[in-house]
Structure 1
Amino acid sequence: MTTTGEEHTGGPTGPWWWARWRGAVLDGSLALVSAVECGAEGVPFARDAGIPVFLGVLFGVIAGSVLLVRRKWPIAVVLVAIAITPAEMGFLMGIVGLYTLAACELPRRVIGALAGMSLLGTMIVTFVRVRQSMASGDLTLGDWFVPFAAVTTSLGLTAPPLLFGLYVGARRRLMESLRERADSLERELQLLAERAEERAEWARGEERTRIAREMHDVVAHRVSLMVVHAAALQAVARKDPEKAVRNAALVGDMGRQALTELREMLGVLRAGEDVVGRRGAGVPLAAVGEAAAAAADRAVGETVSGDGPCLSELDELIGQSAAAGMVVELSVMGEVRSYAAQVEQTAYRVVQEALTNVHKHAAGAKTHVRLAHRVSEIAMQVENEAPPEPGSASAAGLPSGGNGLVGMRERVAALGGVFVSGPTDAGGFRVSAVIPAA
């Protein structure tokens, strides 16, 4: 079926081959007018042909009614209009048929051939009729008028509907192309919005995981040392007041450091809440997704490149553990140099978490911290000997969540490094990590 009518936004709702009832009513009206016209023109045709008048009228009505199928069979309509041209019938059908044919999605050679046939037929009929009128004396113009009338009449009945139909068809195809492009862009925008939402959700999940690791490192280490110092403070409060005062000061300093780091992470969380809150303010989904993802990326970048721990603070970290009663030895091999902030923070956190585990599970055990600066990587190892009193993992009764080793492995793996941990043959425990320098 060939469609030449209005654009359709939904499925067909009209009868038979019409997409809409409006098109069916229009074609029915045109067919009725064409049938009346051809029926009226059938009267002189019947007289000239010498047949009964009612047969000429019936022939004209049937021929004019063919215009009803112009949308389904436009070629048939044009052929019928060409066929009844010698009878001087179907002027409306010829004009509407040529317009419909030109507006259809048919090959141009087919449209050109039928238009040429219609032009030639109209020209011949007009030439003959005008010549007969001049021969009978109805027209007294010169001989030049016969070809002039034939050419102008044929062009006037053929060119306008043909050109208008070509214009309408081209415009319809352009509108269809623009509609398809708009639909495609809408689908792409929806897909981008979904991807942005997924990326935002992934970024939020990554940020939650990162913050959970940071909070675990901060809380586990600082609070572990605070508990150890508090236990020591309780033990020496009466015997050595000066040492008790020093331990109390250390507990206060560690508590303030823990609170400072926790406030920084809570500030990152509040910044993320501000971005997510835009969703309820009518901001488009794609914009919210991209903003949330960007906020998460900025939060990670700010935390990594901000005032986080670095390798130069290892001496202070080991000093805090030594102040809590742990015997710790630090050995550094290779040329000391600076690394990317994320590399230094990860190396620091590995050592920090390993020392925290010693406080929890091997209180009083001697610990060795080794740091090696290599050409393209940095290696660290924290190894503790067997605790002096087996079975007394932590004199202070520190709890363990079991996430320390998992967090260290995730940190190192995220930078493309290698993490290994496990017990030693001597009854201690060893944590080793190698992180690429780049």
Structure 2
Amino acid sequence: MDVSSRVRSGWCLLKGPEPWTRRRIAGEAALALVLALMAGGIGLLATGPLRAAAVALGVAVLSLLRRSLPASVLLAAAALSMAAGETAPLLMVAAWSAGRRIVGAGRALAAFTAAFVIYQALGVITLWPIAQPILMGIFSTLFFLAVAVVPGLTSRYWSQRRTLLSAVREHNAQLLRERAMVAGQARLRERQRIAQDMHDSLGHQLALISVHTGALEVDPELTGRQREAVGVLRQASVAAMHELREVVGILRDGIEAPAVPDGAQPAARGTAGIQALVTAARAAGNTVELRTGGEPRTLAAAGDHAAYRIVQEALTNAYKHAPGAPITVELRYEPDSFVVEVVNGVVDRAAAHQAGEVVSGGQGLTGLHERARLVGGMVHTGPTDDGGFRVAGVLPYGAAEAATFVDAPDDFRQQSSAPPLGDGGPVVDWNIAEKELGMGGRNRAGGVALGCGIAVGAVVLLAIAAGVGLFFLAGSAEKGMIDPSEYERIKVGTPEAEVRAELPSGDTVLTSGLSGKGPAEPEGSQCLVLMSSDTGEGLKTEPVFRFCFKDGKLIEKKSYEVAR
């Protein structure tokens, strides 16, 4: 394997499964540098520069590898933190990455258990012989819980929480898409049912009207005026049949209706067809005046069709409720909108009584309001000052986007301006779980409170560990420390029992490792090494007192300094 292949393999091992962006490279480099400087600076005060540099380099390398090898770095950090206490921040960072990145709860538990065993085993090896193993075990366990277990559990909870929210979001988006499909199918079935009913009922009646008016039109006994009125009825029935076919086709599957039979052409469905509506109304015996104002402009298709339907419904409304009254249709092309206005005059009492017998569904004007709203316009209906009735619509020239409305009982997701998920994406982008779990932008205070709570818990554990440690050290100091005056007062040759009665037992962890570091002990003797209450000449040395016994007497006492 050449050098380039080794470099590529090492880079793949270092970067792990995630891409290294510029922001991540800067963050990882800064974190590794901070951890290395902390470990190296503390180690430089306690040990030599060579060891401090080696520890700092190892911390930097492990910090860079913690994402790609989380379990291995956790074990190495646990071992290094016991061998060199200045690397404890690395153990905390490694535990955070391991808790988040180790796949499977069983593997994570095994990794943290192995790290704890390594940490405790190295502690026993390093501090042996241990004067009070139970207290030391409790202290080291509390320290490991605060530095490794709490960050690991916090990181794993946070990662699983984000994964759960992402899964809930995707599942909810899928439910929305499925709901839209089910609703679309239900609407399609209902439209097909309505189309079938309209075709079977209205189609049959209109066909009968068309046949009978066609036969009546050629009746030789009719006058010219009567024949003209019958022709108008026949044309209206043919046009109505064509419109019915269009509506039925749209309701079924959006297919356009076939051509009108008998050579009849469908009427225009826009402002261009308003003239034909007025002409038909005049032919039926109504007095209708058409006025046009402003410079004609082209309307959007939906608005153009809405204008035609407003005039058509307003004329129909006038036929029903004000027969014989004069009607005025006015089209005004304003600079910012198109205005269509239909006003009928006052009807006499006889005509009003006749109009009261006309059957009306009461839905025509309501449908006009909805039709205008969908294209971004509005419709006003109401009586005039002279007793007539007025229908006026204001429509935009351009196309208006139809707003999506969700019924309140069915709005289980809050509408948001955030981008949708996926290719199709749901109607909205977030759900109630986001607000409950505190991940949304409007509820980040919950996430901050959670993080603060976890930090407080870690601080409390550290405080408990520190308190236990201080209590342990305070009790141990009395068993392994004397004043220099006591050392001077004890004379060589004093019986061993008398000397040991005056001195502490030395059974403490503070004196572990001090034996064998000073001058050679007398042959065949047993020595007691105690710490001095005074400080040494430097930060790297510790003054101690040694008392050696043989044959029941104190045969030697020495005062010297040992390296910490």
TM-score band w.r.t. shorter chain: 0.3 to 0.5
TM-score, structure 1 normalization:
0.45
More helix by share: 1
TM-score, structure 2 normalization:
0.36
